[in-house]
Chain A
């Protein structure tokens, strides 16, 4: 039995990757949930919005790298990020004026808006593929590790190492800053308060003189920023591939629904619930158990509940369970 090494292995292979992935999902789900709360539809184009923002950031990063500008140990993409956010915000504002506004004025039913967002998804997907192609792009630079497994072993003298990739650390730090800012914005500023009022009761908000167009615009800008940040962090941590971003829709929606659609706090909780379940169910526990259990009980098999190919099945199962048991989500969402 060696509980210290067992917990280090757990931290290295389950907790740290799960934390970073959870932060990425939480940022994505926050965007979905904000759009749902204010505009009242599930935005199927969110995954491709993430891909678009990441693509612009990648181009900006390449430009900066070509000009010889880097951030040293930090990835250059952090400098390119504002460019990506601005471009994505402009694009979604344009789609709002050209497309969504018409249906909002008409008070179209949510399914029509979902279908419209499918069309937007097609267009964004086409733009991304047209510019950057379908291939995988790696755009991370700077230091690879905050703590590498080898160094950790040297410092502690343990047989298991704990590696923390710099992208994982950056993901968590950026996510904390963004979420803190978002909650401050929603709670303390006038615009944030009017957004919450609009989300709670549209008619009442209109009666008290809140400008709906402004609320909608601010929502789109924030959603675009969240989508771009989530996409860039995911791309730095793993890699950028347009189709993978489309597939991220499922865990992101699952996170938003599990937390309660329309509830920002829920989206964050949902993101971590989905991420940790995904990592824990698809992780082969053999190594951890070999350390944690007495020698006679050490497992022979991998002790892996599902292979990583079925990670979507995990988010799907959690989604189904939540729909069955508490359709409004862990935190009270908008409606059933």
Chain B
């Protein structure tokens, strides 16, 4: 126990040192991202540590959370919605109904050529109807003032409501993927989730009516209770505080906002930890670990392995979606181009493995440590590389080395992952 406390204290020291030697602003930004990553790592740990499910689509579920923020809390565009909002909804419902009908037909009908024909006809007719309804509506929506809008807009509701919606979106996608890929070979889930993540990102990048695509959605509202820096700088109370501490109001306001975010995220993180610890120590948690350790034995005891796997997969993805929504809220914008599988999927995996898969506190520690490392190298890497190459003469090689410093982190993380898997596969804080 004292060892774990020492580990957490060590990581805390890293953040304090960053604050003292670099800037508190940087330290707090890293902390906020690390806290969000910690929540995502908890979601992954539930899937991997409790049940042994290998999800390589974390990026997609993160992005779905972000999509929820866009739809729930971005400002409404009544003209855009009026141009074709309901038709788009109808089109999407038609698409869903087509798939449902095809599934029904293939389940209810007898095997044979007739069934194949029926399914094919349903799919073709349904697809044509879906495109016939959706295409003109999308065109109409995107035609409205494309420089500023061109989308259906959001509901303009507070961000806090968007977060659980993000979890719901991710859970729905997880249900669809899990229903197909679970119960087969374990590798298939990894490949299917890799695919769904890529498709989600492509949808966000290309469906302008939904997220304005690569034109990005900005000015998403702050979640309660975080104020805007400008408002703080204009408030008399805040200026009074700044005077009392003798601090620059502009600098203090950014730090104050980041501190509020950190507290908000820490609260959510603690809640998630509490919930998953409760789950882990309940009969349900024991059942999950029994299934993980020996699926055949658990199935023989009457446990429905595939169903439990689906359940735990959905829960884990929902947590990731929640964190994804929080991240989009914090950044105040939705930029589909920034979602990168190395950063949002595989980095989270490194966090879980390094921290200790199967142990919630381990995942949190891993997320804080690796999150710190990842972002500090981003800001320090070029400087360090500059130092290393300072003895070299000016030339293309030196310029190339300094330019490539940011790529060092992929290499470093890969080596860390391999070393941990090889020499300390149970992680920093092993499962009890």
A residues adjacent to B (C-beta < 8 A): 41-42, 44, 99, 102, 110-112, 114-116, 118-127, 129-131, 133-134, 246-247, 249-250, 253-254, 257, 305, 307, 309-310, 312-313, 315-316, 319-320, 323-324, 327, 335-336
Contact = CB atoms under 8 A, between A and B. Distances in A.
Question: Interface centre among B56, B186, B194, B410, by most A CB within 10 Å?
Answer: B410
Contacts of A127: 411
A316 B407 CA distance: 29
Contacts of A305: 127
28 contacts: A42-B187, A42-B190, A99-B422, A111-B54, A111-B187, A111-B190, A116-B418, A118-B346, A119-B414, A122-B413, A123-B415, A126-B408, A126-B409, A126-B411, A126-B413, A129-B410, A130-B408, A249-B194, A250-B194, A250-B195, A309-B206, A310-B202, A312-B195, A319-B191, A320-B192, A327-B188, A335-B185, A336-B184
B190 A114 contact: yes
Nearest to B201: A312
Interface of B: 52, 54, 56, 127, 180-181, 184-188, 190-192, 194-196, 198-199, 202, 205-206, 341-342, 346, 349, 353, 400, 403-404, 407-415, 417-418, 421-422, 425
A127 B410 CA distance: 9
B412 to A, nearest CB: 8
B191 A253 contact: yes
Contacts of A310: 199, 202, 206
Contacts, number: 130
A111 B196 CA distance: 19
A130 B402 CA distance: 10
Nearest to B53: A111
Given A126-B410, A310-B202, A319 B349 contact: no
A315 B403 CA distance: 35
A324 B56 CA distance: 20
B142 to A, nearest CB: 14
A323 B202 CA distance: 23
Describe A's contact surface by its main secondary structure.
Answer: helix
A310 B342 CA distance: 20
A323 B180 contact: yes
Contacts of A247: 198
Q: Which one of B127, B404, B407 has the highest number of Cβ atoms from chain A below 10 Å of its Cβ?
A: B407
A196 B116 CA distance: 36
Nearest to A251: B195
Contacts of A44: 56, 190
B180 A324 contact: yes
A309 B200 CA distance: 12
A191 B15 CA distance: 56
Contacts of B194: 249-250, 253
Given A42-B191, A118-B346, A312-B195, 9 more contacts: A99-B422, A115-B417, A118-B349, A126-B411, A126-B413, A127-B411, A247-B198, A316-B198, A319-B195
B180 A336 contact: no
B404 A115 contact: no
B185 A120 contact: no
Contact of B52 (A111, A124, A125, A254): A111
A115 B353 CA distance: 9
Contacts of A250: 191, 194-195, 198
A126 B407 contact: yes
